[in-house]
A = this chain, B = another copy of it.
C-alpha cells in the first residue's frame, strides 16, 4: 500500500501525472451528508485544469444523473452531467445494450427517468405507485396489467431504493419473474442501508432486492452498483472511446483510479476492474481498519481484494500537487 501524503511529494506527483481519469465515490470522499469536505472544491477545479477526466460514481439510484446534478449544484460544485454515473444510469445502459424494450421497476423516479431517456419503457410505473395489494383482486390486476404489457415482452425487473415500496409492486415483480423465465432480475444496488442526514439510516435498496430474491428463490442476475463492476465498466467504455490516446484497456491500471472510502465496495470495485484503488480516510474506512485488513490479507487470499493500492488520507491532499 502506497501512502499519498505531504511527506511523500514525489510519489504523489507521479501519481497525479500518470492518472488521466479519477473515478470518485461521493459520500465520504466529496461530501459528508450535506457538507462538502474541506478544500475539495478547489482540488476538483485543479484536477480539471490539468485536463483530468472526472467521474462521480454513486450506488444511489433514487436520482437520475440530472437529479444528482442538483445535489452538486446545491453544494456549489460545478459538475457536468456527463461526469455523473449513477447505478440507475448503468442499469439503463445495460438494459438498452441487451435489447430490452420494457422493464418493471421497483425503485425511484431516477431509474424511470434513465430508462426513458434511453428508450426503455417502465411498465406500470405511475399506476402502481399507490396500489394496495389485495389477494382476491390480484389475478384481475395481473390480467389487466398483462393485457397492456404481455409478460413475455417485459425483459427485466429492475429493483433499487424505493421509498414508496409496497407489497403490490413486490407481488407484481415476483409474478413477472415467475411467469417469464427469460426476464432478467436486475438490481441497481444491494446496499443494506441508505445514509441520510442527522445520522439517520434508512433501509436501502438491498432490502427490496432481498425481499424479491426470497420470493423468487434466486439472487439478481445483474447488479449495477458497487462492488459489481458494471458502473466502472460503463466509465471505462466511455473513456476508451473518448480519450483513445490516453486511456486504453492496456494502460488502465496506470491511467485510471477509483477513489473511495469503503473497502467492501469502492476498493473491491477498483481492484476487480484492474484500475488503481485509492482509499481515503474521510468516510467509513479508518487507519486501524486498513491495518487490520492488510494483516488479514497476508493470511487470507480472499481478503486481498479489500486491500487498497494507495491510501490518500483526504482527497484535498492532492491540491498540494494540482494547484502548484
Contact = CB atoms under 8 A, between A and B. Distances in A.
Interface in A227-259: none
A310 B198 CA distance: 58
Contact of A207 (B138, B203, B212): B212
Contact of A211 (B174, B211, B217): B211
A262 to B, nearest CB: 15
Contacts of A201: 174, 178
A134 B162 CA distance: 11
Contact of A171 (B174, B192, B203, B210): B203
A163 B135 contact: yes
Nearest to A178: B201
A33 B5 CA distance: 68
A99 interface: no
A208 interface: yes
Nearest to A133: B163
A164 B133 CA distance: 7
A204 interface: yes
A98 to B, nearest CB: 26
10 contacts: A133-B163, A133-B165, A134-B163, A174-B202, A178-B201, A193-B215, A203-B211, A203-B212, A204-B214, A207-B210
Interface of A: 132-135, 138-139, 162-167, 170-171, 174, 178, 192-193, 196, 198, 200-204, 206-215, 217
